[in-house]
Amino acid sequence: MMKMIIPSNQRSLEIDLSENLLKTNEQLARENRSLLDRHGIFAVDILGSVGSGKTTLVQQLVLKLKSRRRIASIAGDLTTTIDADRIRSAGADVVQINTGGECHLDANIVGQALGKMDLAALDILLIENVGNLICPAEFPVGAHRRMVVVSTSEGPYMVVKHPYIFMDAGVLAVNKKDLAGIMEVDIEKLKQDALAVKPGMKVVFTNGRTGEGVDDLIAALELPEA
């Protein structure tokens, strides 16, 4: 008794509607990409749960890169401006997008943000998505690279429980590596879990607070030469 698995195909109308929505999003993502390419801007879509350390890593990337690259950020969040304020303090221009209840950024809203930015004055755009490892999976925003941040403090199951988000990601940052011991999390196991879902993924171990591993992260992102 009580051991069945219920499939999730119960709402076919909803699925049809959502397929249209996804197709529209993909078209808008291609338009964003074209716009970015015309301006020679390399964009990274950064994903991870709230508390994984996305904003701290964006701050570290800004600090390391800002002397030699023109860098800006888009920060997605339900209602607060905490992330944008932190990134701005590191020295990058930031567009804050408050999504209200929406659980992910999409190509439409990122396109609106691009329309208000001075793209001619930019080399690199770091797009910090809403803190959620499920919903953004299906919504490419037009970035050249997708990077996922998972923290050791989130326990051992973050990768195996979010397979979809890794399938389209090129880089995984396993963050807060200094807490792996106390959290009893095996960072090599997290790496193997990611490689099982996405062979060839670049996995780096970071500590956003100290900046450890940020040079490895920059290398893994394969930013174009200045």
CA atoms of 179 and 181, how far apart (whole Å): 5
| Sequence-distant (≥ 6) Cβ neighbours of residue 145 within 8 angstroms | 42, 43, 44, 45, 170, 171, 221, 222
Regarding 196 and contact with a second copy (CB under 8 A), the answer is no
Contact 203, 174 (CB under 8 A): yes
Regarding 120 and contact with a second copy (CB under 8 A), the answer is no
Regarding 135 and contact with a second copy (CB under 8 A), the answer is yes
Shorter beta-carbon distance to a second copy: residue 162 or 177 = 162
Contact 143, 43 (CB under 8 A): yes
Number of residues this chain uses to bind a second copy (CB under 8 A): 63
Shorter beta-carbon distance to a second copy: residue 15 or 219 = 15
Task: Estimate to the nearest angstrom the gap between the alpha carbon of 112 and the chain centroid.
Answer: 18
By CB under 8 A, name the one of 116, 120, 199, 200 that touches a second copy. 116
The closest alpha carbon to 131, from 22, 29, 46, belongs to 46
CA atoms of 144 and 226, how far apart (whole Å): 16
Regarding 212 and contact with a second copy (CB under 8 A), the answer is no
By CB under 8 A, name the one of 30, 37, 82, 219 that touches a second copy. 82
By CB under 8 A, name the one of 27, 34, 80, 210 that touches a second copy. 80
**CB under 8 A: which stretch of 30-38, 100-108, 140-148, 187-195 binds a second copy?**
100-108
**CB under 8 A: which stretch of 32-40, 127-135, 186-194, 217-225 binds a second copy?**
127-135
As measured in angstroms, the least distance from the Cβ of 158 to a second copy is: 6
Residue 37 to residues 32, 121, 129, 219, Cα–Cα distance (Å): 9, 13, 20, 21
**CB under 8 A: which stretch of 43-51, 63-71, 187-195, 212-220 binds a second copy?**
43-51
| Sequence-distant (≥ 6) Cβ neighbours of residue 89 within 8 angstroms | 59
CA atoms of 179 and 132, how far apart (whole Å): 21
Chain residues binding a second copy by CB under 8 A are: 1-8, 10-11, 14, 17, 21, 49-51, 72, 77-82, 93-103, 108-109, 112-113, 116-118, 130-135, 137-138, 151, 153-155, 157-158, 160-164, 179, 182-183
